[in-house]
Structure 1
Amino acid sequence: MGPAMENNEKSTKILIVDDEPDVEVLMKQRFRRQIRESKFELFFAHNGLEALDQLSKDLEIRLVISDINMPEMDGLTLLRNINEKFPAVIPIIVSAYGDMNNIRAAMNLGAFDFVTKPINFDDLNVTIDKTLTHIQNLLDAQKTRSRLDGILHELNVASEIQQSILPRNFISDTNIEMFAKMAAAKEIGGDFYDFFWLDDAKSKLAIVIADVSGKGVPAALFMTVSRTLIRAHAYNHLGSPGGCLTKVNSALQKDNTNVMFVTTFYGILDVNTGVLTYTNAGHNPSHIIRKGGQVETMKNIHGMALAVIEDLVYKEDQITLNIGDTLFLYTDGVTEAENPSGALLGDEKLIASLDQYRNLAPSELINTIRSDIITYANGWPQSDDITMLAIRYLAGKQTQ
């Protein structure tokens, strides 16, 4: 099995959190060789509260494997507490197959990796090995604290590079007006937005917003690869966001050793007609602020996040922007912004804000919502990247 931490003679202490009564017997049976050889020492808890109590009593526990759905305290709340109270502990979460909402939430809360039910124990062994290697790397890193200043400098440089990759030449003419902003939760983030013309006539505008699982350097690297692939395949699938994301998904899924994924919205706006052809790969639903009307939610989801399932074919839909309508795209850092009591901002508050600020220009709209998020958080630290993009459709291009 994987590396022992600190030295080869000391058992690795693993806490398993699950409310199923047969889990303890099953885990002991599956890892009986590692237990017999003193490689693993297993501890068990039936909910998040018991797990926190166990962690407080034994500070040598560095790895937690936790279910999500449990009584008294669920796995997501446990992750939040581990992140705040036991930052040296590395969690792995267990979730139902295809439960992307909980998996994404868990990764944003600091889970290192995930396995799906029913558990494949070969896969669990690989995940544990990878996590223990990660923990050992963290322990090694703690011994080289003298390099911290240099690392922080490199992160600041990386942040500047990442921000420079995001386009800033926002279009503002007689046809469309747009603005976007990305605020990373750490020095560098995994969110990104993009926009670019697909034709010389500047009639087809590609619009992208995406959210990579996790944060920090790995997410930033995956973000750069994802953005590059989308741009590359967009020109080969000029009228088909679905065709583009189908190719990007296959490329990302290959050699995805870090089990990362990226939720993505990709749309192509025909500036002449206002028709938006779009594909949503597991991303938050976008909204259209109808001029003189309601806020319309684009609820269609065309598949899971990119890099999760191989050979997945993404479909697409169309919707029309009328003159004066505003398209609003965002990542889950907006609706999942927390206040000190742990309450999320939520979809209803966002939609109410979009309705309230409907007459603001795209730049004012985004900056005002960002200010409202800061006010709502009331000093609570930002836990996820926050990205927004808004486009107001002003008029179709005049044909010659």
Structure 2
Amino acid sequence: MTAALPHELIESDAADAALERLLVGAGARSIHKSPGPDWTISGPVSRDALDAVNEVRRAIHDIYAAQDEIAGALVRSQDDLLALRALTQVNVGTLGVFESFQDLLRESRDLTSSDVVALLDDRLMQSSGGRGADSAAFAELLLEAADVPGDLEPRLARGGHAVVAPLVTPGGGVRVLAFLRVAGPVYSTGDLRLIRAAVAAANMRFTLTRLHLLEIKRATFEREHEVASSLAQAVFSQPAPVLAGVDVFSDTLPASLAGGDFFAFAVVDGVIWFTVGDVAGKGLPAAMVMTRAVSAARVAFLTHPDDDAAGAMLAMGAELYDYLDDVGLFITVVIGAYRPATGILHLCNAGHSPVMLVRDGAITLVPASIPPLGVLPAPVGRTVRFDLDAGDALVLGSDGLAEQENPRGVMLGYDRLGEVCAELQGASAARLGHHILDAVTTHADGAPFSDDRTLVILRAVEMAR
């Protein structure tokens, strides 16, 4: 009697001894054992008994084979766990973006036993691998990877020797991980599970990278805002000047993002020089232009007669033009000089508003006589003269006053601002200034600042005799 057993049957001395005792007990006189075919026996042993022994031997073989298979699976699982751990522990914060994704691709390649792993984003971004990276199969895989279906499930390609795995792309576009085995076995169901883990890690890496870059941008923004605020405080730290015959108020309320509003004063030989302006920009660039503008204005104050406000404006523009042209910004600004002894006010307005003269409850708008600085290299300016009486007030502000919106999106407007300026006839400059700022705040009704609110008031008063 013979029975076919697998040639690779695993022998077990203990099991064979037990089976031999069973056969001897059943009447076998001799047993000829072999690792491959059935044992050969002699003696009155039934075929059923011999078949039972064969089945037991097969069962023993299956147990030993399963034991080896489980041990191998445990080893592979441990390796996969270590690879997964390495895949998820690359620190975006301590590596550059390129190095971070290179590590991810390398760990993904090791995890999936691939020859090449590539990350594509409308183009080949990065790849990791040696053998096969320059092969025709890899080039063809890249072309196939660019044609990503609508779903996000990994799909087999090139007869199972490649996998194309789409990634989540919040901003749209194509982004995939491509895996290639040049000559190795096809990717199995277990491999696809590992690839899904690599895809999840890649999606997490993109999210962390985006958050990391946003944090860098936020920190940079906050730093620029701090520097811009410091520059603004340096500009506005100058107290309002004191000169007989004029009452001066000045204040600025910055919005959340430091803007380019500025003002400056100087008293020269019984004349009060002043400037109020607004740089067309925000943040650090506007703040740097603002400081240069204030410096240029102060030089102009000292180098021009009080009846030549236009000359002072043109000198300021000539000093700033090249810089403004380089940074792509411009400045709306008004420069003036008031001599209280004569009541004569000279102004030059370079595209700035509001500039209002309040007299006897009536408002006179002072229009621009020159374009904003930085628009033309050599503009032609014109000085405007006003003769002020006691009680007359010049109101100079920034567009953040009239353009302040309420929660319904309605701006205060220049007409309403003018009405507010005329409401307190004969009031001091400080009282009128606070009245105007309070009116803007009331209109806002809790809405955030649309822009910086800057206000300067010069009010003519009787000179002591």
TM-score range (shorter-chain normalised) is: 0.5 to 0.7
Alignment of 1:88-107 (within 5 A): none
Aligned-partner Cα distance in 2 for 1:349–1:338: 13
> Quick one: which amino acid aligns to residue 270 of structure 1?
R
Q: CA separation in 2, counterparts of 1:302 and 1:349?
A: 24
Structure 2 stretches lacking a partner, 5+ long: 1-97, 99-118, 124-169, 174-208
Poorly superposed stretches of 4+, deviation over 4 Å: 6-11, 58-61, 139-142, 146-151
Higher helix proportion (structure 1 or 2): 2
Pairs within 5 Å for 1:197-276: 197-199=267-269, 203-239=270-306, 240-255=308-323, 256-276=325-345
Change over 3 Å in CA distance of 1:145–1:245 after alignment to 2:
same
The 5 Å alignment of 1:287-298 reads 287-290=356-359, 293-298=360-365
Corresponding residue for 2:395? 328
Paired residue secondary structure (2:409): coil
1:371 alignment counterpart: 438
Distance in 2 (alpha carbons) for counterparts of 1:380 and 1:225: 32
Q: 1:252 to 1:356 in 2, by over 3 A?
A: same
User: Which amino acid in structure 2 is aligned with residue 254 of structure 1?
Assistant: D
Q: Which amino acid aligns with 1:244?
A: A
Given candidates 258, 261, 269, the residue that maps to 1:188 is 258
Q: 2:232 is matched with which residue?
A: 162
Cα offsets for 1:254-295 (capped at 9, x unmatched) = 1422210000110000121110011000011422222xx232
The Cα shift of 1:210 comes to 0.3
Identity %: 26
Distance 2:172 2:211 in 1: 17
Structure 1 counterpart of 2:263, one-letter code: Y
Structure number with greater Rg is 2
CA distance in 1, matches of 2:224, 2:414: 36
Is residue 280–residue 329 contact of structure 2 (8 Å, CA) maintained in 1? yes
State the alpha-carbon separation in 2 of the partners of residues 170 and 307 from structure 1. Answer: 28
Pairwise CA RMSD: 2.9
Say which is worse superposed, 314-323 or 249-258, in terms of deviation.
249-258
Structure 2 distance, partners of 1:273, 1:141, is: 63
Shift of 1:359: 3.6
SS in 2 for 1:242: helix
- In structure 2, relative to structure 1, the CA distance for the partners of 1:324 and 1:153 (3 Å cut) is same
8 Å contact kept, 2:241–2:267? no
Aligned to 1:310: 377
Cα deviation for residue 149 of structure 1 reads 5.7
| Greater RCO (Cα-Cα under 8 Å, separation 6 or more) | 1
Shift of residue 354, structure 1, vs aligned partner: 1.3
Pairs aligned (count): 265
For each residue in 1:322-371, what CA deviation from the matched residue of structure 2 results, as whole angstroms up to 9, or x when unmatched? 01211111111111111122111011111111121234321222222212
TM-score, normalisation: structure 2:
0.52
Letter in 2 for 1:265: V
- Offset of residue 298 of structure 1: 3.2
Q: What is the one-letter code of the residue matched to 1:250? A: A
How far did residue 218 of structure 1 move? 1.0
* Paired position in structure 2 for 1:26: none
Counterpart of 2:229 in 1: which secondary structure?
A: helix
Q: What is the distance in 1 between the residues matched to 2:403 and 2:327?
A: 24
